[in-house]
Amino acid sequence: MVRYLYIHIPFCLKKCIYCDFYSVSDSIPLIDAYVEALCKEIDMRGDHISVPEAIYIGGGTPSLLKRKHFAKIIGKLNGEWRTSREMEITSEANPGTLSYRRIKAMLESGINRISIGVQSLNDNELRLLGRMHDASEAARALRDARRGGFQNISVDLIYAIPGQNSGGWKRTLDEIVRFRPQHLSTYELTPEKNTLLHEHLEKGTLCMPEEDTIAEMYYSAIDILEACGYAQYEISNFALPGYECRHNLNYWNRGEYIGLGAGAHSFRNGMRSANVGDVESYINEINEDRLPVTEAMALTAEDTVKELLFLGLRKKEGIELREMPAEVAEKMKETLGNLARQGLIESSENIITLTRKGLLLCNEVIVRLMLCIEHSRPA
Ligand code: SF4
């Protein structure tokens, strides 16, 4: 039985220039019907779910939901499994759509953790990213979340923004820690294909900061946040003691979860699957009593090992070689030795962790380990 639920709210008022998530702005009138469909999907999947450990409402922009929507979704889950304060129930929120009333509505519905997409406290950077809020609205959202009663607040930040320098990034970090959120995620801006950001970079109308500057930004996040009492528990994630995100840890630990809503992904019984992405098709499928699953893939033994590597190595605690089949651990020995000599990994008692240098070059480490598994595959 699955104890982790993800609920996708795929609506945004405006598309940010770097975003390749599934989100739509023209289907907002469908929110009522969408929430109805979500509740029906909870019923349809109920046999595979037991009392949840963590529920995560992500998007898109969940803070576009009204009081009645939060009450309906959490009320439905509560009716089935009795939600409690001990569960981690998170909702993402966008400062541009987060009024004090909405914060109170979230809390009253049972949501006990809020993840606020601040991204930057510099107005020029926020404008460039295409965010709909400015720095003062982000600060107000943080103050309101605290004043409203949230005791578990997470903040998302982005660095390596075109035009940003190390000093500007450090100012955002210094300002954000004054709000004392319990949790922080700091993501490097990556230009994904089919985004406006990618287009600008191709045309040369924007350019990314130099690699050395990006490295300096990454390390300054670790140093500033650790000096303020935040422990880094994953490449991009930091928490005060006891506030690590249970939902994310389950994902990196390859725990099972069920994703509800348009475009949501699930992992159960060794299968990864995805719901149909289009909002209208999702609602129609559910209303026709069909599970809206469009993709399902059973993982092979090799897929599983690769996932153990690329999800597990992201965590500060690393991976245990014992979790790998013996023949795979044997194949990786030489590459692991090389990576250790280059100062990218450390290994002790069969546990492999990334060094400070390895954290920055995590993708390279993972690719080299994957290649060594693939190259030693029997022809
Ligand atoms: S608010 Fe989030 S999901 Fe919506 S467009 Fe911006 S980055 Fe994408």
Q: Is 98 in the pocket of ligand 1 (CB under 6 A)?
A: no
How many other C-beta atoms can be found within 10 angstroms of the C-beta atom of residue 204? Answer: 7
Task: Look at residue 263 and tell me whether its pLDDT is greater than 60.
Answer: yes
Task: Look at residue 8 and tell me whether its pLDDT is greater than 70.
Answer: yes
Q: Which residue's CA is minimally distant from atom 8 of ligand 1? A: 19
Q: Is 15 in the pocket of ligand 1 (CB under 6 A)?
A: yes
Q: Which atom of ligand 1 is nearest to the CA of 19?
A: 8
277 prior amide bond cis, ω within 30: no
Q: Which residues, including other chains, have CB under 8 Å from residue 90's CB and lie 6 or more apart?
A: 54, 55, 56, 57, 58, 111, 113, 114, 115, 154, 245, 247
How many A from CA of 16 to the centre of ligand 1? Answer: 6
Task: Look at residue 272 and tell me whether its pLDDT is greater than 90.
Answer: yes
Q: Is 59 in the pocket of ligand 1 (CB under 6 A)?
A: yes
pLDDT tens digit string along 274-332?
Answer: 999 999 999 999 999 999 999 999 999 999 999 999 999 999 999 999 888 888 888 89
Q: Which two tokens stand for residue 365?
A: 């480490």
Q: Is 152 in the pocket of ligand 1 (CB under 6 A)?
A: no
Q: Using CA atoms, how far apart are residues 21 and 84, in angstroms rounded to an integer?
A: 30
The pLDDT assigned to 247 comes to 98
Whats the size of the chain, residue-wise?
379
pLDDT tens digit string along 195-244?
Answer: 999 999 999 999 999 999 999 999 999 999 999 999 999 999 999 999 99
Listed residue (268, 37, 239) closest to 155, CA to CA: 239
Q: Is 7 in the pocket of ligand 1 (CB under 6 A)?
A: no
* Residue 210 burial by Cβ neighbours in a 10 Å radius (0-12, 13-18, 19+): exposed
Strand pairing of 2-9 and 258-260? parallel
Q: Which two tokens stand for residue 1?
A: 């039985």
Q: Which residue's CA is minimally distant from atom 2 of ligand 1? A: 60
Mean pLDDT of the chain: 95
Task: Look at residue 47 and tell me whether its pLDDT is greater than 60.
Answer: yes
* 317-to-238, 275, 313, 326 alpha-carbon distances in Å: 13, 32, 8, 21
pLDDT tens digit string along 112-139?
Answer: 999 999 999 999 999 999 999 999 999 9
The continuous run of DSSP H or E covering 354 comes out as: strand 351-354
